[in-house]
Structure formats: structure tokens, C-alpha cells
Amino acid sequence: MKVSKKLLSVAAVICLALFMWSCGEGEKVAGLETQIEKLATEKADLQNQVSALEGAAAKSTGGQTYNIALSLAITGPTSDVGSPYSKGAEDYVKYVNDEKLLGDDKLVIFIKDDGYKTEVTKRNFEDFLDENIVFYLNYSTGSTLALRPDFDEEKIPVLPASFHIGNLVDSKYIFLPISSYSSQAVGLAEYVVANHKGSGKPKVAMFLHPSAFGRASSDDVKKAIAAGLGIELVEVVEHGKDLDNTAMLKRFQSKGVQYVISHTVQPPVATMLKGAQSLGMAASKYGEAGKITFLGAHYSGGPDLIGLAGSAAENFIWTTSYKIMTAKGPGTDAQMALAKRYGRDAKLANSQNYTNGIMVVQVVVETMRRAKSKGKKITRATLYEEMLAMNGYNAFYPLTTVGPVTFSKTDREGVDTLQLYVVKDGVFHELGLPFASEYMQKLK
């Protein structure tokens, strides 16, 4: 099979480059960045060719229908995330069927709003089971933790929108799409340490969502500090619904806080940034003395933050494992084309949460394609097997992320690398190269 052999060769080159990076050859790999991007694109094209061949072979036996499901907050708290996420998942399922990525087989996704309420999510999941779903996409941290026993009992693979590392504890069937919240927050703290210009340890505060989601990273930041990470964690704040952060910001300033790491959703971060700007506290450049530099994990930032905060978002530093639309390339071009194809506006097309919804369905479809190529029937068990086998030469390159998706029995945290972005002139731009948190590797 010439296509299969070429696919393996491309994968080998990409894996070699990533290995060089991990061995400290970052500068050499950086010089090959364009070549790697082309190779990853070629690998994805070859995978599509394999799928087309499989689809042609399947025509003689007739098509099957595979059901998956998604429960999330389309309304209520965090719906600014859930709404674009749902549309990304919906659009990619349409694309899979329109382009026959599964041959004559059809993919169906059931989507229900849960309003960010765990009890509603649980009811939705029970309803979905009546539809004979083979893969489930969950949303919130609280509901993912609460439903862990149910997922194990049903032996169904799960990809949540929550990147809480605690989701993986006492469960075999939950997989994180990208690097955990803990990896993101600790990675931001490592960046603060590496780039701090003042004397002594940098003083840091954390600004968290008042939920299991928001609290997910603070414990690991504290563990990293205990293991030697050189920051002083001055205060951890769970924000309320107040539209005025004046008292909090003045308290931070009185305590000498120089950096604030946010782990929440965009609206409260925008409110805080506008408050800091009006009080003259926001740094005009990274680490400016006497001012505060703001940073945030995945759901704290992204293009929508600029729309909410305006000029107050300038210099905000953000991290995620997803490529954003200003990082031009085959993946972002494809996302824009997908949004246009299904009538989505520019705001949605540029949302990293639209990307997020696309990516989780990409992973599901890839497990189905791999199972089909081996002559396996599509079941929960076979898709779970393919998830665990997605590593090494079998890593998946969806082009929507800054690194490959890998899973195994001992590692169910998907994309291992993160990318920093910074707002300059009202646009998020890449800051440095993809990286992995040093201290989270130690804590594992």
C-alpha cells in the first residue's frame, strides 16, 4: 500500500523533529517549522486518501450510522464558550457526512443544552444512552467529575470541554483533548519566572472562576511552588458577579502584586482588565515596574476577549494548545472555509471555542477511521482501543492544534504542548515557540 507507506514516512519525520525539540534542539527545529507544517498537512491529506479508499470499499456492504452526543452550556453561565463550541462540533459533523470522510457511513450528533447544571447534564447523558451512542462529548468540570462512575460503568470513551487534570483520576474512559488547566497555569507561572526583570521572586495573584472549573489549577500551582517554582503566590481570588474590581485591584497593588494569572471565562477577565486600565494599573509592557501584567489560561482569553475588553486587552498574555486564526496555515484556512461553508459569521469563525468543538469531533472521527481500516466494528470498545493506541507513529495531527494528539494507557492528556499568544495592536500574536510545562512534568 503506497499511501500507507508514505503516511508512515511523513509521521516518522514529524516525530523525529519533535524528539529533537524535546532533547534541547529547539533552535534547529524552529528553523524547520515551515517544513514540519507542510509535512503535517501532507500527513492529513494522506489520511484523507486512506479514508477515501476505505469508503470505496465500504460501498458494497452499505452504510452504517454512528451516534455520538454532546451536552453543554448553550445558555446560562459559560455559554459564551458553550455556544461556539456546539456550533464547531455541529459543523464538523456536517462536513464529515458531506465529504464522506467515513465512506458511506453516517455520523449523527445529538446536542442538548444543560445550562451549566450538573443535574441536567446527568439527565441528558441518560437520554443519550437510549440513542446507542458510541462516544460522548461532555462539557463542564463539575459534571465530568460527577459522571465519572457512569462513564466507567457504561465503558464509553469521553472527551470533555473541561481540561481539569482531576477528570483523569479514578476513571479509565475520560480523555483530555489538550494540555490540562494545571499545565496551562503552571506554564504561565514558569513564563513569569523566566522573564521577570525585577529583584526577588515575582509576586503573583490568581483570578479564578467560582467553581470546580476555576479551582482546577490552583492546587497544582501551589505544588509547583513547593517543588521549587520561583514565584510568590500572594493571593487566590474567586471572583463574583460584581462589575467593579476596584477594591480587589487596589488590594493587589497594596500587596505588591506584579502579575495576575486568570483561570475563568472571558467576561470577568474583560471587566478586570478595563478596571485596571481605568485605574492606571495595567502594564504598558511586560513586567513594567509598579504595574500589573495580566495572563490567562485557555478559557480566559482568545479573540472574543479583545471584543469585550477593547484596548484594555493590550499586552494580555494567553496560552492554549489550539491554533488561532491569526496563526495562518492549513489548519486555520480550513477552519475559516468550514465556517463560511455552513453560514457562520466572522466572529464565530475566529473563536478558539469553535476550534475546540471542531477538534473533539476530529478526534472521534479519526478513531472511527482507524477502527474501520482494521476491519473492526464501530463500538465503544473499539473506539476506546483506538484512543489508547493514538501515540508514537500513530499520533494524530488534526492541524487545529499546536502539536499532535496522543493518548495511551498511562497518558490521557491529549496535546502535550502549549502556545503563548500576546495582544499587540488589538490582535493576538504568537509569542515564542510551543512548549510543555517543566514543573508539571516533574509533578507527574
pLDDT digits (tens, 9 = 90+) for 192-238: 999 998 889 999 999 999 988 888 899 999 999 999 999 999 999 99
Please check whether residues 193 and 262 belong to one and the same domain: yes
Residue 404 falls inside a structural domain? yes
In a domain, 393, yes or no: yes
Pair 129, 221 in one domain? no
Give me 291's grid cell.
504595574
Mean pLDDT for the chain overall: 89
Contact 96, 108 (CB under 8 A): no
Chain centroid to CA 278: how far? 32
Range of the structural domain that residue 110 is part of: 63-179+325-413
Does 6 have pLDDT greater than 50?
A: no
Quick one: which of 313, 317, 319, 358 has its CA closest to 335?
358
Domain contains 18:
no
Domain presence at residue 15? no
Report which of 138, 148, 146 is spatially closest to residue 168, judged by C-alpha positions: 148
Closest CA to 160 of 182, 141, 138: 138
CA dist., res. 323 & res. 338, Å (int): 15
| Pair (239, 337) in one structural domain | no
Give the model's confidence band at 26: pLDDT under 50 very low, under 70 low, under 90 confident, else very high. Answer: very low
Q: For the domain that residue 426 is a member of, what is the CATH number? A: 3.40.50.2300
435, 296: one domain: yes
Residues 316 and 356 in one domain: no
pLDDT recorded at residue 62? 65
Q: Which of 19, 7, 21, 16 is closest to 435 using CA atoms?
A: 21
The answer to whether position 28 is within a domain reads: no
Based on the structure, what is the number of domains in the chain?
2
160: number of CA atoms within 13 Å, CB side?
Answer: 32
Confidence band, pLDDT 50/70/90 cuts, at residue 50: low
Domain check: are 357 and 315 in the same one? no
Query: What count of residues does the chain have?
Result: 444
Domain shared by 254 and 109, yes or no: no
What are the residue ranges of helices labelled H in 233-324? Answer: 246-254, 266-278, 303-309
Per-residue pLDDT at 375 exceeds 60:
yes
Q: According to the model, what pLDDT value does residue 215 have?
A: 87
Whether residues 144 and 127 fall in one domain = yes
**Residue 90 amino acid letter:** E
Residues 188 and 298 in one domain: yes
Structural domain includes residue 45: no
Q: For residue 107, give the amino acid letter.
A: L
Residue 265 falls inside a structural domain = yes
Integer-rounded Cα Rg, in Å, for the chain is 22
Of 201, 193, 186, 195, the C-alpha closest to 234 is 201
Residue 104: which of 46, 49, 67, 65 has the closest Cα?
A: 65
Statement to judge: residues 306 and 432 lie in one domain: yes
pTM: 0.84
- DSSP-derived secondary structure letter, 65: E
User: Can you give the pLDDT at residue 9?
Assistant: 47
Residues 245 and 389 in one domain: no
pLDDT digit string (tens) for 97-154?
Answer: 999 999 999 999 999 999 999 999 999 999 999 999 999 999 999 999 999 999 999 9
In a domain, 154, yes or no: yes
Q: Do 313 and 205 share a structural domain?
A: yes
Q: Do the strands 418-424 and 317-320 form a parallel or antiparallel pair, or are they unpaired?
A: antiparallel
